[in-house]
């Protein structure tokens, strides 16, 4: 098979196909998340408290291995605590106009926080149980901004840069970087 | 209405290589697509697919990735390969760069649910 032949193909990818047994829980979480994201935060503490409840819900659903039906690693409580720590570090650099992030589990057991302003404008940061942090983004004008860090050793400059990039998604014009 | 997130495409490391599992579905009807899902994903009696994502192979190639059409466990199966071997942030960026080209399709009412094993 050649690349040319593939280029005309359509690909299919199954997802959301968790070995779920309790779709009601998922639906409730989705509703909760949607409702929370539809309103701007009133304060920085909202970010911490709201994401904490969502985090716990996602972690509960993904606490056992193979939660996606395709061999995913379990999401550990250490990972949840690491995400809470990151949010605690980051919240000072996020204005209250920035909406709550989408919390998505990843197949390696990491948790990610994603802020999305449009289908092609988003910022996502993954946190591992080890404390490793990986972020990637697509910004206005097709600009990419990605990198890695480690919890506990992220300088104020790095946190400010991340906060500015995230808030820039939700302001008109070019992101403030 | 769901959306396709880049996280859905993040690869797994299998025998030292990062790969994401996909199926080539050109020419298949919706019913045939869901029959394929029943066979290859739900055939173990434990999984239930809530939705599928589909998009052009060209989007993968444009993101600098390629395919290994291994034909296992089904003739239409392939793996997306070419992911960064070293850094997760690069793999996230690669996935992000093509995920928006994919569309989300919730399981239609016409697709029968699999029988779930309780064991």
Q: pLDDT tens digits, residue range B75-117? A: 999 999 999 999 999 999 999 999 999 999 999 998 888 777 6
A13:B102 CB<8 A: yes
Reading the block at residue A172, the tokens are 């008109």
Of all residues in chain A, the one with the smallest CA distance to B89 is: A134
pLDDT of res. B116: 73
pLDDT of res. A123: 98
pLDDT of res. B17: 97
Residue pLDDT, tens place only, B12-30: 999 999 999 999 999 999 9
The string over A50-69, giving b where at least 16 C-beta atoms fall within 10 Å of a residue's C-beta and e elsewhere, is: bbeebbebbbebbeeebbbb
Residue of B56, B89, B97 with shortest CB distance to A148 = B89
pLDDT of res. A92: 92
* B38 vs A19, higher pLDDT: B38
B56:A11 CB<8 A: yes
pLDDT at B52 over 50: yes
* Residue of A1, A7, A8, A16 to mutate, testing the B interface (most B Cβ within 10 Å of its Cβ): A16
pLDDT of res. B96: 97
Q: Would you write out chain A's pLDDT as a tens digit for each of its 177 residues?
A: 333 333 334 566 654 444 333 334 444 444 444 444 444 455 556 778 888 889 999 999 999 999 998 899 999 999 999 999 999 999 999 998 999 999 999 999 999 999 999 988 999 999 999 999 999 999 999 999 999 999 999 999 999 999 999 999 998 544 444
pLDDT at B2 over 50: yes
B46 touches A at CB < 8 Å: yes
Minimal CA separation from B22 to chain A, in Å: 5
B39 CB-near residues (< 8 Å, 6+ apart): B74
Minimal CA separation from B48 to chain A, in Å: 5
What secondary structure letter does DSSP report for B79?
E
B48:A119 CB<8 A: no
CA distance A71 to A17: 12
Minimal CA separation from A167 to chain B, in Å: 19
Q: Report pTM.
A: 0.84
Question: Chain B neighbours among A 23-82 (CB < 8 Å)?
Answer: 23, 69-71
CA distance B89 to A49: 27
Distance of CA B40 to the CA centre of its chain: 11
A3 CB-near residues (< 8 Å, 6+ apart): B61, B66, B67
pLDDT at B74 over 60: yes
Of all residues in chain A, the one with the smallest CA distance to B11 is: A107
B24 touches A at CB < 8 Å: yes
């Amino acid at each position: 098979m050649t690349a040319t032949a593939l280029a005309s193909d359509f690909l299919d990818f199954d997802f959301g196909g968790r070995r779920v047994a309790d779709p009601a829980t998922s639906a409730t979480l989705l509703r909760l998340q949607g409702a929370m994201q539809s309103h701007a935060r009133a304060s920085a503490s909202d970010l911490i408290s709201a994401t904490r409840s969502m985090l716990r819900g996602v972690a509960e659903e993904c606490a056992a291995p193979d939660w996606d039906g395709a061999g995913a690693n379990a999401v550990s409580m250490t990972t949840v605590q690491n995400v809470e720590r990151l949010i605690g570090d980051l919240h000072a650099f996020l204005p209250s106009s920035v909406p709550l992030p989408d919390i998505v589990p990843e197949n390696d057991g990491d948790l990610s926080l994603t802020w999305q302003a449009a289908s092609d404008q988003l910022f996502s940061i993954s946190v591992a149980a080890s404390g490793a942090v990986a972020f990637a983004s697509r910004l206005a004008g097709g600009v990419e901004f990605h990198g890695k860090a480690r919890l506990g050793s992220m300088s104020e400059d790095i946190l400010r840069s991340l906060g500015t990039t995230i808030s820039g998604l939700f302001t008109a014009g070019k992101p403030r970087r | 209405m769901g959306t396709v997130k880049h996280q859905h495409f993040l690869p797994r490391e299998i025998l030292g290589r990062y790969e994401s599992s996909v199926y080539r579905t050109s020419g298949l009807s919706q019913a045939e697509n869901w029959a394929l899902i029943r066979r290859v994903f739900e055939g173990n009696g434990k999984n239930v697919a809530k939705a599928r994502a589909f998009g052009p192979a060209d989007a993968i190639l444009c993101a600098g990735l390629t395919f290994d059409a291994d034909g296992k466990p089904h003739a239409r199966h392939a793996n997306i390969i070419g992911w960064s071997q070293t850094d997760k942030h690069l793999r996230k960026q690669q996935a992000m760069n093509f995920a928006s080209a994919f569309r989300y399709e919730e399981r239609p009412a016409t697709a029968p649910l699999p029988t779930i094993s309780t064991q």
